Amino acid sequence: MASYHLRLAHLYGDLLNTYGDVGNITALKYYAQQMDTEIDVQVISIENDFDPDQFDLAFFGGGQDYEQMIVSQDIQTKKAAIEKFIDDEKPMLAICGGYQLLGHYYIGANGEKIQGIGVLDHYTLSQDNHRFIGDIEIKNELTGEIYHGFENHNGRTFIDESERPLGKVVSGNGNNGEDQTEGAIYKQTYCTYFHGPILTRNGQLAKRILLQALRKKYPTADFSKQEALEIKPTF
């Protein structure tokens, strides 16, 4: 049996799973095993209560506009709980639509304004008959880590000074194709447009997320072995 256990909330996992990004959960479980940790996953969906005190980390994927509009309405009832989870500095990974819905709003492909919950201070506009598609590479300027992935999004997201980008674009488009930012970090919440899924190609980011969750849940434990572990993706 594993020495440590984490509970992961998969927000709207039955509705938002474009491009197979649920693979990020599979990746987290795989890396967690290398770190002597077991992860239990629970889907939190429409009309389900979300108790932030019952979970140690969360994943929020993306979907098509129709599904995201449904989620946009329901997630308003979970705003306070998600805000508490984030303010408690528990790690969350939000991809594409999940990233957009944590912000104030995004403009859909048909020009409709879809409300987010505004727990993060960014907003997303749309493009006319155009998408950002292709391989992308960014550099996390705080850690020096290089992340590789694939982007496919119509949205153009603009982050606020309260957030810092996940990385600076080395090649590709990133958040909006203008300011060379990609994704956003606020406290321990990581947002990105990387599909692929991101954690299968960037094990160092998965390790960072897992260590944050472990330290939060087990504040007196010694994680020096986990910190020294060289994470080797096999996907």
Give the Cα separation of 43 and 49 in Å (integer). Answer: 11
Query: Do the annotations mark residue 131 as ligand-binding?
Result: yes
Cα(197)–Cα(204) distance, rounded to whole angstroms? 14
DSSP SS3 for 128: coil
Phi, psi of 170 (to 5 degrees): -95, -45
Is residue 52 within 8 Å of residue 89, measured between CB atoms? Answer: no
- 195 catalytic residue (yes or no): yes
10, 104, 153, 195: the active-site residue: 195
Alpha helix positions (H), 35-115: 65-74, 79-87, 97-102
DSSP class of residue 217 equals: H
Q: Is 191 a catalytic residue?
A: no
CA 24/CA 56 separation, integer angstroms: 16
Rounded distance, CA 29 to CA 10, Å? 13
Do residues 99 and 49 lie in contact, with contact meaning Cβ atoms separated by under 8 Å?
no
Among the listed residues 5, 10, 96, 122, the single catalytic one is 96
**Residue numbering of the annotated binding site:** 131
**Residue numbering of the annotated binding site for substrate:** 131
Active site amino acids: 96, 195
